[in-house]
Amino acid sequence: MRIKFCGAAKSVTGSSHLLTINDKKILLDCGMVQGGDRKIARERNEKFLFSPAEVDAVILSHAHIDHSGNLPTLVKAGFRGKIYSTIGTKDLVKVLLEDSAYIQEQDADFILRHFGQRAVPLFQVDDVKAVMRLFQTFEYGEKFAPIENVSATFFDAGHVLGSAIVSLDIKEKTSKTSLVFTGDLGRKNMPILNDPYQIVAADTLITESTYASHIHDSFSNVHEELTWIINDVVKRGGKILIPGFSLERTQELVYVLHELYEDGKIPQIPIFVDSPLSSKISAVFNKHQKYYDKETCIKFLNKKKSPFYFRGLNYTEDKEASKKINEVKEPCIIIAASGMCEAGRILHHLRHNIENPKTLILVVGFMAAGTLGRDIVEGRPRVKIFKEWFRNRAEVVVMNAFSAHADKLELLEYIKKIKGLKKIFAVHGEATECAVLRDNIYSINKFGGKIIVPEYGNEFEI
């Protein structure tokens, strides 16, 4: 067997690893390269390190765009095999790819109108249809054969709805081997989803390294902190703005707010989820209740209630409904995209409220350097929104407990429990994170095998 690392090598986007087994080819993930130099990203997305027509099957770990977003380009370039995933992943991929295509079409329009240049989207909504026709879905624990002599199984990764750890049992001419791909690994004790399934044995592991040097805050204090924050802001008559990441984090917030409402911990002020994408994703979450952690969701399921819909919670779809939120004078909670405040409806809400000292901006995700979100977190006295300067007078609170990725200790513990490992590949992390994970597996886990941090395009014989 050979493994070629075609993305997310010493970086966090464009997850894509090509396995060659008995002359057949399986692609693990087909993610879009995002951020960084636009030209390089475009090139990496368009030029594959293999011939798409020669790939026999794609196995998808989960729906995030950095794991699924380059599927339309792969299909346009000649891939005609099957795409294997869980049903939750398939339904989320449809929503996310359609949204991505729509944004690309809008961007191309904007560039043409304002700069007179023709920009070609990487793919369009019609291309997504061709992708969706190739899907075949399996449950967690169900075995399937993506190619001859390979038996594959999905296990719950606990990262986002439908996310999977991929386990492969491989028969070659003279040998047998097993390979596990973590995809993105979730965390224990998070709302909605189950804890990541613990794989107990494998020969080779491809592991993510996103937060290999970070330790996240525990989720156990989130309810108490939110109760305190919300009551405080309501007392002073302010609004709470939450820049939201549409998949998983928004649903987790809605879930916790619903619990606080039900338990009478916070007053029943209006809550707005002002993002059509989040509203579509919540509908997918609502459809697939089989993925919920039964223990934590029992209080809703017993009462036949959905965690994601309740009186007081409003999903706003069109622009008019979004604008109407500005007319609300009393305290309310507004969750709106985008997460880093770079685009989307959150900008309108910030514009209307950031100069009011009664406002609280609740940051629940990572804000990259150079984004408006980072300026807000760093407490810059003035910030630019839609080319206009505003005084930043709002209170800002950062909560780090919402991360959907295993942290340093969780990754090390997870890997330590996999017996029989001979080789580990550390991917899906900045170069420093991959190196920290490698060093810690050697020094803390006392691993006696080999750990490799591959470069983009590296290929290895196993």
Binding residues for Zn ion, rule: CB under 5 A, are 64, 184
Closest approach, Cβ 182 to Zn ion, in A, equals 11
For Zn ion, the closer CB: 65 or 74: 65
List, as one string, the DSSP characters of 154-214: EEE-SSSTT-EEEEEEEE-SS-EEEEEE--S---TT-SSBPPPP---B-SEEEEE-TBTT-
For Zn ion, the closer CB: 73 or 210: 210
* H-only helix segments in 244-386: 249-262, 276-287, 294-302, 319-324, 346-353, 372-377
Closest approach, Cβ 67 to Zn ion, in A, equals 6
Closest approach, Cβ 68 to Zn ion, in A, equals 10
For Zn ion, the closer CB: 64 or 408: 64
User: Which of 320, 397, 394, 398 has its CA nearest to residue 350?
Assistant: 394
Residues, the chain: 462
For Zn ion, the closer CB: 64 or 280: 64
Closest approach, Cβ 255 to Zn ion, in A, equals 18
For Zn ion, the closer CB: 137 or 182: 182
Q: What is the torsional sign of CA 331, 336, 341, 343?
A: negative
Q: Which tokens hold the place of 101?
A: 């295509």
Query: Rounded distance, CA 437 to CA 349, Å?
Result: 40
For Zn ion, the closer CB: 207 or 392: 207
Closest approach, Cβ 245 to Zn ion, in A, equals 11
| 87-115 and 276-287 helices, crossing angle to 10° | 170
For Zn ion, the closer CB: 17 or 64: 64
* H-only helix segments in 77-171: 87-115, 125-132
Backbone torsion region of residue 257, taken as left when φ is above 0, otherwise alpha when ψ lies between -120 and 50, otherwise beta: alpha
Closest approach, Cβ 159 to Zn ion, in A, equals 6
Closest approach, Cβ 282 to Zn ion, in A, equals 18
Closest approach, Cβ 425 to Zn ion, in A, equals 18
- Kind plus residue range of the DSSP H or E element containing 408: helix 408-416
Q: Give the residue carrying structure tokens 């006295």.
A: 381
**Burial letters 199-211, b for 16+ CB under 10 A, else e:** beebbbbbbbbbb
For Zn ion, the closer CB: 159 or 258: 159
Closest approach, Cβ 227 to Zn ion, in A, equals 29
SS (H, E, C) 410-432: HHHHHHHCCECCCEEEEECCCHH
For Zn ion, the closer CB: 190 or 383: 190
Task: Count the alpha carbons within 13 Å of 333 in the hemisphere toward its beta carbon.
Answer: 31
